[in-house]
Amino acid sequence: MSRNNERRKRILVTGGAGFIGSHLSDRLLAEGHEVICVDNLMTGCRRNIEHLRDNPGFSFRLHDVTVPLDIEVDEIYNLACPASPVHYQRDPVQTVKTSVLGAINMLDLARRLDVPILQASTSEVYGDPLVHPQPESYWGNVNPAGPRACYDEGKRCAETLFLDYHRQHGVDIRIARIFNTYGPRLRRADGRVISNFIVQALRGEPVTIYGDGGQTRSFCFVSDMVDGLVRLMSAGEARMGPVNLGNPRECTMKDLAGRILQETASRSPLVYLPLPEDDPRQRQPDIGLARTALGWAPRVALEAGIRETVGHFRRLEAPGGDRTGPATAGDGLQNTQGGSRTCFPL
């Protein structure tokens, strides 16, 4: 396929078997593009992309982005990295390698091919913010020696690499700072608050709130997040970022738990546990730049998004459903050597 064909592109999505990556693959395929999904299945899951197995425009390659990849594509979305504390703290050295070496390898590929590349950064670059809400101009308040630093500083370094590859080599880059995202395909035990609360409520277990429940987050439904990523990629180099993508509607953890208990009709009690080290007290994006530069704003209300996400977990928890969820080692296909293997035809 010609790389000059504007209608149909060959697009690489690293981390494509993950939560956001699999939804992004769905969106790009629906637009008529060819998608090459790359994932080492450390936290991604083949179940997330199983419905795409017979799609002629989709292919999957088992590969770790810390190893260079030789492939011909028209665009690159770099989403590869564990995104929840329980996963990125399990192997913090690998988390840093994924953020830093993965960024270098994908940037080198984009440079060789002369194609645009989007980096999935994170709101965690702001740390425990002293400015609220957080604009892109805020430099953050990050503890470089804490247990979350492997992710926070890894993503900050990846942003530096992207901007320096642009300044030094002219690489066409985009940087999206992704705030808390939720929806179907979240894993049960991934440490994200919405999945934790829903599973506990459906099982009648105590709903565990860390801290006093007064800390806040802003939750963006996954379809809105994917739309923001696609718009940013399509916006052109003049909008290279960083650009905040998230829902500016703030919600306390206690209020979120109450909403989920109401939606699940659960009688689970609330249990309060000590707040984890360096856990931010507030998190809310300033999306003024995304509104003006991309014409983007989230559309799915929290109530509707929770309802759909609860439905997803109800199906998993139903008799005959898969109560165990995806295996933590990637359904038995974790690639410990960091090499590359084709699982679906390329």
Q: For the ranges 154-168, 185-199, 245-259, 313-327, which has the lowest average pLDDT? A: 313-327
| Highest mean pLDDT out of 79-83, 110-114, 315-319 | 110-114
Under a CB-based contact definition with an 8 Å cutoff, are residues 279 and 210 in contact? yes
In this predicted structure, the answer to whether residue 210 has a pLDDT above a threshold of 60 is yes
In this predicted structure, the answer to whether residue 269 has a pLDDT above a threshold of 70 is yes
Given this model, what pLDDT does residue 4 score?
40
Q: What is the mean pLDDT of residues 119-144?
A: 94
In this predicted structure, the answer to whether residue 53 has a pLDDT above a threshold of 90 is yes
Q: What is the mean pLDDT of residues 293-316?
A: 96
In this predicted structure, the answer to whether residue 336 has a pLDDT above a threshold of 50 is no
Q: What is the mean pLDDT of residues 85-97?
A: 88
Q: What is the mean pLDDT of residues 259-286?
A: 90
Residues tagged active-site: 151
- The domain locations on the chain are 10-342
**CATH tag, 10-342:** 3.40.50.720
Given this model, what pLDDT does residue 326 score?
36
Q: What is this structure's pTM? A: 0.89
Binned at pLDDT 50, 70 and 90, residue 280 comes out as: confident
